[in-house]
Structure 1
């Protein structure tokens, strides 16, 4: 069992994300690119990613990369701004959860090393 406090883990992850966003703004300024999403190819890729993720889950071989790839593919397939935003929130949440999992593994390794 991990000794990581969820509040501390969230603070660390979202603090890291906020610092990265500040660095991006410092380097590039405010960015206002077109979305560049949707289209039949992107929708097909999203369907394919979902099928892959479902098959990996059924085989109990699902990896973080599979989950994130599906979420990104779903976002890239979306043309409605509100739905695109919701999909991007899911992308960000999965990425944050993956970072948290990496941090938990690191903490477990540190706990093991201390014994």
Structure 2
């Protein structure tokens, strides 16, 4: 293990791998064009933004307040999903780059 990679880093990467496996089980292999991947990634980043915003300002949105307070654990889970989607986009790009033609 590199001095830059801690046990915590390995744990986070394992969570991202588990999320990639969950995504593949749910959606199968996805091979979108780059602009579609950016839209999917932006949607995931938006969910992370919403989770942290609702954690910091739980009474800002009445609908959000009715659901109950969000936690930083939910924000963290959204970040894992952001990272997993970014990995999926890279995998897709690599597959397409190796395709003939």
**Interval of TM-score (by shorter of Structure 1 and Structure 2):** 0.3 to 0.5
Structure whose alpha-carbon radius of gyration is higher: 1
Higher relative contact order (CA 8 A, sep 6+): 2
Give the TM-score normalised by structure 2. Answer: 0.46
Give the TM-score normalised by structure 1. Answer: 0.40
